[in-house]
Structure 1
């Protein structure tokens, strides 16, 4: 038995449609690949920017910490000499003192200033209460006892020096109200206040 297939004439009207469909599909695929590539690039750029932002934030934080450490070191150096200055207060007169360490029966104060730093301190004033400066000053390390007298206030106490500041004499009640306070300028020009309880603070001017 013999089969025969009849082939009709080619329908040219369908060819442009088929070609258009193929081109459209190719264009869609190309557009999809382009968008996919652009999205990947955008994601990579975002990741890069995020990484750079984190890096910059870490660098900024490190700079802040380093700056704070440098400031702390500078502050420590700035106050190191002032911390090496001490004042020992001694009420004089009778032999009694109350439970708070205040004078009881005393008529004057002796304030001994010790400069334990290597550098000198300047314009040294010991004030008793709010209004009284020392009556006299003695360099306790003078080679000869008679040569220990120094001007009031003391222009300078050398490194390692010890000076004694003597208050005026008062009644007992006045002594209690006039505890000594030390004012001095360090070798870098900063002015300091040190009270008889050991509280140290910087001041803008003498007593201000």
Structure 2
């Protein structure tokens, strides 16, 4: 009994098929490695983008508060003094003493060293615009000191509404 091993071309074709299979196996292994490296790279980039986004959000929040933090409010007897120390105007400024809204607003003008302040003009409430460096007094309807907390409401240059109380607590506000 003799085994028919076929002819030479069949052997050559079989050898090429085996080589192609071996090469394909190597290519698949290489592609899997590349895909895994790309996944690692994408995970790393995703983590970096998340950190950058957090930093940008923090910067945006800081910019949002920047102007509002430069507005000062100080209570004096039956009035609340509001100074805009920022480089931009604030708008729609009014003060509430408890449930009462201030009845009068006047601009405060320094009269010089050692002199008293001067009041200039009388403004509708809310005061439409308080320019940079301007200082206003908002007068309560009660003629004497009350325990009611005084709160300044204003809108910054970017349209953000703010609430600043006599203790210096600043927070975003909703407008009525």
What band does the TM-score fall into relative to the shorter chain? 0.7 to 0.9
Higher relative contact order (CA 8 A, sep 6+): 2
**Contact in 1 for aligned 2:79/2:140 (Cα 8 Å):** yes
Q: Any stretches of 5+ residues in structure 1 without a counterpart?
A: 1-12, 93-108
Query: Highest CA radius of gyration, 1 or 2?
Result: 1
Residue 122 of structure 2: aligned partner:
150
Q: 2 CA distance for matches of 1:117 and 1:146?
A: 22
- Secondary structure in structure 2 of the residue aligned to 1:183: strand
Note if 1:116 corresponds to 2:85.
yes
CA RMSD of aligned residues (A): 2.9
Task: Give 1:142 deviation, angstroms.
Answer: 6.8
> Structure 1 residues 171, 81: CA separation in 2 closer, same or farther (over 3 Å shift)?
closer
Q: 1:119: how far off?
A: 0.7
Q: C-alpha displacement at 1:34, in angstroms?
A: 3.7
Superposed CA deviations along residues 89-146 of structure 1, whole A, max 9, x for unmatched, are 13x3xxxxxxxxxxxxxxxx2211111101111111011002x111322211277x77
* CA–CA separation in structure 2 for the residues paired with 1:171 and 1:112: 16
Structure (1 or 2) with the greater strand fraction: 2
By how many angstroms is 1:169 displaced?
A: 2.1
Is 1:138 the counterpart of 2:106 in the alignment? yes
Asked if 1:195 corresponds to 2:165, the answer is: yes
Q: Structure 2: which 5+ runs fail to align?
A: 112-116
SS at match of 1:112: strand
**Structure 1 equivalent of residue 138 of structure 2:** 165
Aligned length: 171
Task: Pick one of 66, 72, 80 that aligns with 2:66.
Answer: 80
Residue of structure 2 in register with 1:63 after alignment? 49
Cα distance in 1 for partners of 2:128, 2:12 equals 96
Alpha-carbon separation, structure 1, partners of 2:143 and 2:109: 28
Match of 1:185 among 152, 155, 176: 155
Cα distance in 2 for partners of 1:139, 1:171 equals 20
TM-score by length of 2: 0.80
Specify the SS of the correspondent of 1:198: coil
Deviations 1:151-174 (A, max 9, x none): 1312221101111112122677xx
Counterpart secondary structure, 1:56: helix
- The DSSP-based 3-state class of the residue aligned with 2:141 is coil
Which residue does 1:102 correspond to in 2?
A: none
Out of 184-193 and 21-30, give the one that drifted further. Answer: 21-30
Q: For residue 106 of structure 1, what is the aligned residue in structure 2?
A: none
